[in-house]
Structure 1
Amino acid sequence: MNQQHPSPEANRMAEKHTTLSLTQELAQLDERLVSLIAARTNLLSRAAASRRAKNLGITDPNQEKVLWQVWRDSSKGDNLEPQILKKIFHLTNNLSYARVEKNTSNDKPLCLYPRRKPVNIDLSAPRDQILRSMMFFLGATNPAPLTVAPFQGNDISLELINALNLCGFNLTFQNRECSTQPVSSWSLDNKIIYAGQSKFHFYLLLCLALGQVTRAKFTGSTKLKIHDVRPVQDLLPKLGARLTIVEPHSNGVPVRVESSGQLPDSIFIPEGISRKFILALAVAATTFKSGLTIRLHESYVGSKLLRKGLVFLQQYIPELQYEGTGIIIPPAPMNLNLSSVDIPVDPLMSLHLLALPFFVDGNVVLHGKWPEYVPHLQDIMDILHEFGLRINVGADQISSRMGNRPKQLSIDLTYCQEYLPLVLAMAMGLRGKCAITLDTSREDVEHAQDMLENLGAGYSIEPGLLQVGIPAAAQANKKSGESPWQSPGPYWTLAGALISFTHPGLCMSNADNITSAWPWFWKIFMNLPDPQNFINPPRSEEKEDETRDDKPKRKRIRISTD
């Protein structure tokens, strides 16, 4: 019997295969998998965008049914858990739906070439989104009219305004003001409420339903569809309500909520509940006839979000008590005893404008009230002072200019790591090394590494320490700019804009993720050094025969399809 010997090519393939470790084999598979997911996302996005252009929903149940049947048939005999596989199917679909919801295109990155001229900025500062939403809610339920001004409209705020109006409240906005009028009655019963993209808004509307006998359905954007509401689902029976997740194998919206209106006098919030839910419950409890006492697990004691929101609430409802692990909301109704309010500025967004003199000199003046109760805000202000930035906080405005620039720095971000994108951008503007002490196990440090590697910047990282401004490896420089940097979030987009002053030509995709919260940002950036000359005043202040060219006199941002 003749024995067939493998060919030399087969031997080489087998030898190459056996030299790979399991991790290397997985890495090769994952590389192909990501490529296939990207191609699938592009195709499904085209289909979803086509439906949206026809004023149809971006999802097509029949299409999803056909595609899921392919997944199910192809997985037969492979011993894959059906429920987990169905979740993966929905998650891959949501990659496409999220792209269409944001109106983004993956083949058009923004390439930034800003002019290095001293800035002369005089603008209204961006306001805190969470605090603004809280005041919209308080104004809507208030027995007297209330005006929130200035109101810088954005998608997130408009989603809440529309949802509250659907419930029977009366909120209107014009001339950069949002006004509320008292209503005789309101209800969520038998309503389908679109909560948009904000988790806080979803929880705020959900908790509003708890004070009445209600049956309602809540929907939202892709971000809420992948948000896990099960911890809150387990807690709601203690508040006299029941939440049912509508779609099989999903943990997010759409959900149905049934509430009895029978609330306890007190509730204990265990560990693992979203802090946004706790704050939303405290705000919504201002409408509960008997009030509510909230007892918190000790893990919530250091929450920056809860402290910021509850101290703000106490300014207008002095009877509200908050200390450590206890929140006591007095019985409704409540009267705010004011007719207008100016929301404090958002320090995280504002500081990205106030930091501009560090990169190009000049002066920045932002109008608005600086917050007094944001935990560890002074820590970042001290760090920016070490960078040489001189920030002056007045009663109704904040200004900045540049002082002496240090050559190198060693700073500690342990207690204010949410400012890492801003600090990283400034660290890259130093001529020397910058050592940053921080929690390197957090996800934002991975985002920092992705950005640094994309730019070919020299850095080193070890547990608890990130150093930038060190010589880069030759291989890193070679890879620099090979592909656009994918901005992971709004504040990283702001940081990328600042970094483009020291790394002109920086290209980023997903750069429009800031527009839902701060739609004015790119208009400000493109019209530096004096953007106020290109931003129109409210319509009531315009002359009928006056026209203004909103386009920049010189292009600052190049759209590249390379």
Structure 2
Amino acid sequence: MTDHSNDSRGSRPARDARDSRDSRGPRTPRDARDSRDSRGPRPHRDARDARDSRGRDDGTQRRPLRETVCEIDRDILRLLLRRHNILTRMRGDKSRLDSAEEKMLRESWEGAVARISRDARLSGHFFSLMQEVEFLPRPLGERLVEAAEGSENGAGRDGEAPAAQEGPDKRIAFNLAPPAKPVRLRMQAPLACRATRAWLMLAAATGQPTRLNPCLMNDPIVDCVKMLIQVGASLTREDDGVTARPAVALAAPDKVFYVGDSAWNFYLLLGHYLGRPSRAKFMGESSLKLADLSAVRHFLPVMGARLVHVVPKSDGLPARLECSGIIPDSVVMPADTPAELAEGILLAAPGYEHSLMMDLTNHPAQKTILARTLPILRTAGAEVSVEGGVVRIHPTKLEIPAQPELPMEPELALFLLALPLALGGETSLAGQWPQWPNAEAGWKLLHSLGLDLQQYNGKDGNEVKAASAAPLKDFSLAALPADLPADWAPLAVGLAACSALRGGQPTLPELPQGTDPYEVESFLNALGLEQTNESRLCKNEQSGVKAGWNAPSPAWAMAFSLAACAKQHQKLGNPGVMTGLFPAFWVLYNSLPEPQPRRAAAEAAPTAPPRRRIITASVAVPPELKEEDDY
């Protein structure tokens, strides 16, 4: 037996190959190799990717890497659609998943993300978006083909409903094509949404009757009414208004409240709860789930309260609130706290046990906070004193007006007043223009573009008129007004787009801080425009026919509607983004250039005269039955 008879190295060629490997030195451990690959691409991969972008070495052309990325994006969307359909099957008849199932999915997602990324947006926000995102049904042609092939139990692919149960194809975008004629608009202005909810909150908190009619009656107001009814308010929602009946003043029950998709609803109820020993849980829609409430969470301990987020690593709703009811005599609002939080506390302060002094000196939205809350409080009889940026509110028994006067909703009124700039003509809105800094900034913007704006106070009430002899062609604006909020920047971009689509080359001024540049770029690209290095807008001749554009907010949808006045047949993929804020918007827009007021309700049919009752002395005597008829 030789010395190497038990050697497991095998044959001579195998030993020689291993010896050649051993001569290169020790091999890198597997963990180190894996970590090296996970840290970044290897050099030969970089060279291969660069060669793919130019073409192969043998001269054959390969497709650019950007097309590969686009294909990967389409695969991701297909997976998201499949995931959505499976979640629909898991929910069944319920509106939401069971909390245990959703928790398991979230923990699984966070565990998978932790292996590849440390970005909290991927582990938190992206998961919330996947849970809330909505998809359109597949085109009708595909569903009919599948139905003809005979899918089992009539269900579509991945849990979609069968074609027979759905209507026409919903993938067709909304065509915006207003007639190119001067506008003639005369109507009641849409009334302020936040002021409406503030009056409802004060009426419910005091238990006093009031009536708000007409009002906007959009989704935020409807959600606010439902929220207050949950607390114990006695409210009745009607077609064009809300009525508050006499009731017991609101308490602070330990309940779970749904506040909708508006942060203002959350802050209104939060201010009410802060003055009372209480606890509650708040839930909302996707925008509040993705909201950053960390500044609110850090501030509330000053008010004797604590906010705890239900979802780990989340800064939004759902959240639990615990209040001690011990309010300090004075409080300083940090600059990073939302303005709506200060407004909610000020509106609830007359119901606190003792006076509250709020210092808003260092808050950037000081003027807006005071302008939106003090007129309401003073109209209700609150004892308020203001000195600079310091506000002191004393406990007061409020007197709610029977029918409070609401100002215009400036975000919507500015669009209606801008229609003469897009089409020419005139607009007349009945209502009171609000004296708010952002409303004044919007007024200055339209006036600086040449719109003739006038306010009247006649026998029929307040009225605002806007007129322009011709559509806007020359957008010459060096800078936007200082107080114009970033949410209203689409108004300026939309009017500049009208000028560019009519052949001009306007220069887009610097937009307010907080405006998303990607939204601006997407908006211009959907209209066939591009922005040069000098911020000039010009037509992009290479842009072909595009599918419907999805507006990221109602303001962008209104800006897109303005631009369609200069270039018709623009396709909007999500018109529902406007109906949630202004339900009558598309009825108004589709009836341009001369929208008619809504038809009066049909007259009630005349009531029939009451039947006469004749009383006589006669007595009815029934006949006797015969024996054969007696049973």
TM-score bracket for this pair, using the shorter chain length:
0.7 to 0.9
Q: Deviations over 1:161-204 (max 9, x none)?
A: 11112111222232523222332242232211111111111111
Q: CA RMSD in A?
A: 3.5
Residue 500 of structure 1: how far off its partner (Å): 1.0
Matches within 5 A, 1:530-549: 530-533=594-597, 535-537=598-600, 541-544=601-604
User: 2:124 aligns to what?
Assistant: 87
Aligned residue number for residue 583 of structure 2: 519
Q: Secondary structure at the match of 2:215?
A: coil
395-404 vs 297-306, greater mean Cα deviation: 297-306
The letter of the residue matching 1:381 is W
Query: Is the alpha carbon distance of 1:48 and 1:15 closer, same or farther for their aligned partners in structure 2, counting shifts above 3 Å?
Result: closer
Matched, 1:96 2:133: yes
C-alpha distance in 1, partners of 2:603/2:84? Answer: 43
Q: Partner of 1:359 in structure 2?
A: 422
1:110 is the counterpart of 2:201: no
Q: 1:157–1:379: structure 2 CA closer, same or farther, 3 Å change rule?
A: closer
> Is the contact between residue 149 and residue 343 of structure 1 (CA under 8 Å) also seen in structure 2?
no
Partners of 1:289 and 1:12 in 2: CA distance:
72
The residue number in structure 1 matching 2:465 is 399
Deviation at 1:42, TM superposition (A): 2.7
Query: Structure 1: where are the runs of 5+ without partners?
Result: 4-10, 547-562
Which residue is equivalent to 2:341?
Answer: 277
Q: One-letter code of the match for 1:298?
A: N
Which residue, 195, 218, 221 being the options, matches 1:157?
A: 221
User: Residue 413 of structure 1: CA displacement?
Assistant: 0.7
CA shift, 1:115, in A, is 2.1
Corresponding position of 1:422: 491
- Letter in structure 2 aligned against 1:109: A
Bigger mean CA offset, 485-494 vs 379-388? 379-388
2:97 is aligned to 59
For the residue of structure 2 that corresponds to 1:298, the secondary structure is: coil
Give the secondary structure class of the aligned counterpart of 2:453. Answer: strand
Q: Secondary structure at the match of 2:433?
A: coil
| CA apart distance, 1:153 | 1.3
1:221-370 correspondence runs (5 A): 221-296=285-360, 298-300=362-364, 302=366, 304-317=368-381, 319-336=383-400, 338-370=401-433
The answer to which of 300-309 and 243-252 deviates more is 300-309
For normalisation by structure 1, the TM-score amounts to 0.81
Q: CA shift at 1:428, angstroms? A: 2.8
Contact 2:441 2:481 in 1 (8 A): no
Q: Which amino acid aligns with 2:327?
A: L
Q: Is the 8 A contact 2:183 2:592 kept in 1?
A: yes
For residue 227 of structure 2, give the secondary structure of its aligned residue in structure 1.
helix
Tell me if structure 2 keeps the 8 A contact 1:121–1:529. Answer: yes
* Secondary structure of the corresponding residue to residue 87 of structure 1: helix
Displacement of 1:20 after TM fit?
Answer: 8.7
**Kept after mapping to 2: 8 A contact 1:44/1:96:** no
- For residues 31 and 235 of structure 1, do their structure 2 counterparts lie closer, same or farther at Cα, with a shift above 3 Å needed? farther
Quick one: distance in 2 between partners of 1:380 and 1:125? 16
> The residue matched to 1:381 in structure 2 has which SS?
helix
Matched, 1:447 2:519: yes
* Range moving further from structure 2, 292-301 or 251-260: 292-301
Task: State the TM-score, normalizing by the size of structure 2.
Answer: 0.73
1:200 corresponds to = 264
Deviation, structure 1 residue 239 = 1.4
Do the aligned residues in 2 keep the contact of 1:147 with 1:339 (CA within 8 Å)? Answer: yes
Aligned to 2:505: 433
Secondary structure of the 1:121 match is strand
Alignment of 1:469-508 (within 5 A): 470=538, 472=539, 476-508=540-572
Structure 2 SS opposite 1:487: coil
Distance 1:110 1:346, change over 3 A: same
Displacement of 1:14 in angstroms is: 6.6
Q: Which amino acid aligns with 1:423?
A: A
CA, structure 1 residues 132+69, in 2 after alignment: closer, same or farther (shift >3 Å)? Answer: closer
List alignment gaps of at least 5 residues for structure 2. 1-15, 21-42, 54-63, 138-168, 607-631
146, 152, 166: which one aligns with 2:210: 146
CA apart distance, 1:306: 4.7
Q: Is the 8 A contact 1:314 1:321 kept in 2?
A: no
1:119-130 to structure 2, matched below 5 A, reads 119-130=183-194
For these two proteins, the number of residue pairs brought into alignment is 516
Pairwise CA distance, 1:301? 5.4
Higher-strand-fraction structure: 1
Name the CA shift for 1:264/1:491 in 2 (closer, same or farther; >3 Å). same
Distance 1:513 1:398 in 2: 27
Shift of 1:376: 5.3
Q: Deviations over 1:233-274 (max 9, x none)?
A: 222222122222122232211111121222111112223111
Return the alpha-carbon distance in structure 1 between the equivalents of residues 135 and 349 of structure 2.
32
Write the letter of the residue equivalent to 2:409. Answer: D
Higher relative contact order (CA 8 A, sep 6+): 1
Amino acid at match of 2:81: N
Measured in 2, the distance between the counterparts of 1:290 and 1:26 equals: 66
| CA pair 13-169 structure 1, distance change in 2 beyond 3 A | closer
Looking at structure 2, the residues matched to 347 and 89 of structure 1 have their Cα atoms a distance apart, in angstroms, of 33
Distance 1:14 1:149, change over 3 A: closer
- Contact (CA 8 Å) 2:361, 2:388: kept in 1 or not? no
Are the structure 2 counterparts of residues 408 and 527 from structure 1 closer, same or farther at C-alpha, using a change threshold of 3 Å? closer
Shift of 1:282: 0.9
Distance 1:31 1:283, change over 3 A: farther
CA contact (8 A) 1:389 1:400 kept: yes
Give how far 1:499 is off.
1.0
Matched ranges for 1:33-72 at <5 A: 34-47=73-86, 54=93, 56-61=94-99, 63-64=101-102, 67-68=105-106, 71=109
The secondary structure found in structure 1 opposite 2:252 is: coil
Give 2:427's aligned amino acid: V
